Amino acid sequence: MTPRRFALTPGEPAGIGPDLCLLLAGQPHPHPLIAVASLDLLVQRAAQLNLSVRLLPVTPDSWPDEPAPAGSLYVWDTPLRTPATPGRLDRANAAYVLETLTRAGQGCLDGHFAGMITAPVHKGVINEAGIAFSGHTEFLAELTGTEQVVMMLATRGLRVALVTTHLPLKDVASAITAERLSRVARILHADLRDKFGIARPRILVCGLNPHAGESGHLGREEIEVIEPALETLRQEGLDLIGPLPADTLFTPKYLEHCDAVLAMYHDQGLPVLKYKGFGAAVNVTLGLPIVRTSVDHGTALDLAATGKVDTGSLAVALETAYEMTGRHP
């Protein structure tokens, strides 16, 4: 297997992201993993955690071709704007967080990294710094010049993609247009095929309304928007089942015969997935020209530097990135 480099961003410096990066360094990895992070931050956090981790500085002029030995971590030093205190947000470091993402994302575009894995950021403190930021997904879409991306979370036995993401519930129905639904379904189908190696993906599609509209008695979005869009997509060769009532779709009868579920909105699909696999799930951004995976949890400020964190989700994010890029030598 040819080693492929991967970028790892630790996210919010006051949160558990730096802890996760250091804890992962204790394990052997099949590919070079490069933390795009402040070297001083990692030195400080390792001391606070009483971890013995050998930090190995690298630069674009000295990219490694071999994985770091267990107990070591490659670091592309990206300086903090101000020292970070575990558990205490500081808007001065918002620019640092975005610089790590920019370096990792641009490195993927330039071919230095096969993919990027992200630890959690804190959206609120970035916005408080006067920087408009709605999340990793939107930031990387802009960085890569991608018009449409799709959020998908996955755990063992279940993948859930979303037609709409971070919208107030009152705005969801009007946002579900035939055009948007079609774009999302095509991206999901293409990436399941090309990045996950599923030759003919079968996708279950949730209805928007209770009972998928109950033949129009509980809403007409299924009749007027969703069903016609799905029929057009089926004529293009996509294998789409639905729209189905979301309250019965997430049962073994349906899930054992599908490769992914397409939910209409955030809290329709993700509570089920997180109940099934919280701590062992991964967030994947589909539709990008690069591979990006992430954890399924937040910054956990109260756990930073305590040693009471679980690396499970970040480990799954790494494994998923390896799987996705392994299909393209």
Instruction: Give the residue numbers of the binding site for substrate.
Output: 136-137, 274, 283, 292
CA-based radius of gyration for the chain: 20
SS3 45: helix
Residue 162 burial class via C-beta count within 10 angstroms: exposed 0-12, middle 13-18, buried 19 and up: buried
Which residues are documented as binding site? Answer: 136-137, 166, 211, 266, 274, 283, 292
Residue 252 burial class via C-beta count within 10 angstroms: exposed 0-12, middle 13-18, buried 19 and up: exposed
Q: How many residues does the chain have?
A: 329
Which residues are documented as binding site for a divalent metal cation? Answer: 166, 211, 266
The H-assigned helical ranges of 4-69 are 17-24, 39-49
Q: List Cβ neighbours of 30 (8 Å cut-off, separation of 6 or more).
A: 1, 3, 67, 322
E-state strands within 189-231: 202-206
Q: Round to whole Å and give the CA distance between 242 and 213.
A: 12
Upstream peptide bond of 243 is cis (omega within 30 degrees of 0): yes
Name the residue among 321, 53, 69, 16 with its Cα closest to residue 196.
Answer: 321
Name the residue among 161, 108, 168, 163 with its Cα closest to residue 282.
Answer: 161
Each residue of 110-138: b (16+ CB within 10 Å) or e? eebbbbbbbbbbbbebbeebeeebebbbb
